[in-house]
Structure 1
Amino acid sequence: MSRSAEANESAETTTRRRSRFGDWSSTATHHTPAEDAQAILTGVLLAALGLSILAHLEFLTGGVAGLALIVSYVFGINVGLAFFLINIPFYVLAIGRMGRAFTIKTFIAIALLSLVSYWLPMVFSIAYIDPLAGAVIGGLLIGFALLALFRHRASLGGAGILAIYLQDRFGFRAGLVQLAFDMAILVIALFVVDLSAVIFSLVGALVLNGFLAINHRPDRYIAT
């Protein structure tokens, strides 16, 4: 057998293995499934911790979660149902534009966040935290969480899907897209919740999205 034939056979064997078991070879532009799993788990844990801090202070969160909370206040429907219904267009976008891998990893991240958010109060509690410190720390933790997920082609649904799509398609920075979405939600919240909670929530949103805008750029990180 010639060298070229052997090379072709080896390539075909590698392709079959990758299609059956997934690609476990890590390169400068490619993450292995194990690396994706580590990033998703870390991102979910950081997001749950940040959300628990904000929830303890009764601040709003950004993204679809914050919008779902507002909808539940106004219309009296279940928050989980509101979150699911509002996310439907974003899930369609993920399936149609972002690819199967992105959609699957995003679904896994959302499911894990639900489970961890249920489990965390059993092992972690907050006695006191200053409102300003809580807004900043909570925003940073969620920012780190989203950065980890974005760099491994995943998100926590909602605006995160839109942010990554617009960055990939038009070059808009994901952090700035998230910030615009969150600002719109906080403006709506002015008519629903206490003004001081909105102000501190705004601080958290600025910290979160400013962190993403600086650290998540397609020209600096291109791995998938």
Structure 2
Amino acid sequence: MTNETVAPSLVFDWEQTRHSVAEDVQGIAIGTVVAALGLYLLKAAGAVTGGTAGLALLLDQATDLPFWLIFGLVNFPFAILALWKKGVRFTILTCISIAAVAGLSVAYAHLMPVTGLHPIFGVFAGNLLAGVGLLILFRHGASVGGVNIVALLLQEKTGFRAGWTQMTLDVIVVLSSLLVLPWPTVILSAFGAVVMSVVLAMNHREGRYIGR
């Protein structure tokens, strides 16, 4: 076998790894469904998590405003940041994802009411699902706003993993929940937020995932 016949098979075609429109549509659909389910379990468990999702859950328990509205309002400033730093495509996909998660939170409450959910299961399963949902969205050029956008920007500029950035900001949000929630719930929420951040830190690495 000659070098001429071997070499073409070793050449990596980046164009072939780009996501098609259909792949992006199904990826964002799956990502939002999974992420929204995770947040729904957290809400049902009466817990919080990190980032703006955790802030929205916290405000949901501290006020009478509906979660879907709080989620949208909290993430709006970060959508502006996305437009400034990440471009129109990322911003549009992120806005769609935010709206989908907000809408699904309402749908889950009506279609799948949860009672008697064990807090430990709700927190850990909720954070795992939310983390996997975010990971899918990241890989299809979207997010659900908030500190996820900040984390992605830092990763692109400095190489510092998005998961570790999010973990740092998560600590701030979770500690703030001491103003509203009992300390056992806050401790459980803190462990859950770490679970989500580890999922992102270990799986969302520059160069590991070649699809775009």
Which string of whole-angstrom CA distances, capped at 9 and with x for unpartnered residues, describes residues 113-167 of structure 1?
1111111122223343332222211111001000000011100001111111111
Q: State the match for 1:204 in structure 2.
A: 192
Q: 1:85 Cα deviation (Å)?
A: 4.8
Give the corresponding residue for 2:111: 123
Q: Percent identity?
A: 41
Q: Which stretch of structure 1 is more off in the superposition, 122-131 or 194-203? A: 122-131
How far off its partner does 1:75 sit? Answer: 8.1
Q: CA RMSD of the aligned region, Å?
A: 2.3
Q: Identify the match of residue 165 of structure 2 among 177, 184, 198.
A: 177
Between the aligned partners of 1:72 and 1:112, the Cα distance in structure 2 is 18
Is the deviation greater in 64-73 or in 205-214?
64-73
2:207 is paired with a residue whose SS is coil
Aligned equivalents of 2:107 and 2:64: distance in 1? 26
2:49 and 2:61 map into 1 onto residues whose CA distance is: 14
Give the AA of the match of 1:150: F
1:144 aligns with 132
| Partner Cα distance (1:186, 1:81) in 2 | 21
| SS of match in other structure, 1:221 | coil
Deviation at 1:194, TM superposition (A): 1.1
| Separation of aligned partners in 2, 1:78 and 1:143 | 23
Q: The residue matched to 2:95 in structure 1 has which SS?
A: helix
Alignment of 1:45-84 (within 5 A): 45-70=33-58, 83-84=71-72
The residue correspondences of 1:12-51 to structure 2 (distance < 5 A) are 27-51=15-39
Measured in 1, the distance between the counterparts of 2:55 and 2:116 equals: 27
- Normalising by structure 1, report the TM-score: 0.79
1:76-129 alpha-carbon deviations (Å, 9 max, x no partner): 877666555543432222111111111010001011111111111222233433
The structure whose Rg is larger is 1
Unpaired runs of at least 5, structure 2? 1-13
User: Does 2:204 match 1:220?
Assistant: no
Tell me the alpha carbon deviations over residues 144-199 of structure 1, each in whole angstroms, 9 at most, x when there is no partner: 00000001110000111111111111111111111111111011111222111111
Report the count of equivalent residues: 199
SS in structure 2 of the partner of residue 190 of structure 1: helix
